[in-house]
């Protein structure tokens, strides 16, 4: 079976020791990477879960409001339900942009140092 995947790399990497992992984990650079990731991802996750739970609670306890017609047969429940999909895609897009700009370069620098590349 033919694939378009390139052959495996012939490069060998130095496997870090447990002490090296611990040293990197306790470093200021790794701490800053972890802090910046958490300060972005955790509030975004909490916000999205709150938004989702609001939708669920409104669906269960505010049926009259959710059944309010917006245009034709389109009601508030449908609009908010579609907004759930939209916000999911927007959050994924935003995360990928922030990760590529902020998290990935720092993580790659740490990784290359751990593997003996720097």
Mean pLDDT of the chain: 90
Instruction: Give the pairing type, strands 74-75 and 69-71.
Output: antiparallel
- Give 15's pLDDT tier (boundaries 50, 70, 90): confident
Q: Tell me the torsion sign for CA atoms 80, 81, 82, 87.
A: positive
Q: Is the pLDDT assigned to residue 4 strictly greater than 90?
A: no
pTM: 0.76
DSSP H or E segment with residue 91: helix 76-98
Q: Is the pLDDT assigned to residue 12 strictly greater than 70?
A: no
pLDDT in tens, 60-118: 999 999 999 999 999 999 999 999 999 999 999 999 999 999 999 999 999 888 887 55
β partners of residue 74? 71
């Amino acid at each position: 079976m033919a694939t378009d995947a390139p052959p495996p790399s012939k490069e060998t990497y130095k496997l870090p020791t447990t002490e090296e992992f611990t040293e990197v984990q306790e470093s200021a650079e790794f701490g800053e990477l972890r802090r910046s990731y958490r300060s972005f991802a955790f509030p975004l996750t909490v916000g999205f879960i709150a938004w989702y739970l609001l939708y669920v609670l409104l669906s269960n306890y505010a049926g009259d409001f959710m059944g309010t017609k917006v245009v034709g047969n389109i009601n508030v429940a449908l609009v908010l339900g579609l907004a759930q999909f939209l916000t999911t895609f927007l959050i994924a897009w935003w995360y990928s942009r922030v990760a590529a700009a902020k998290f990935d370069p720092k993580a790659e620098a740490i990784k290359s140092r751990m593997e003996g590349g720097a």
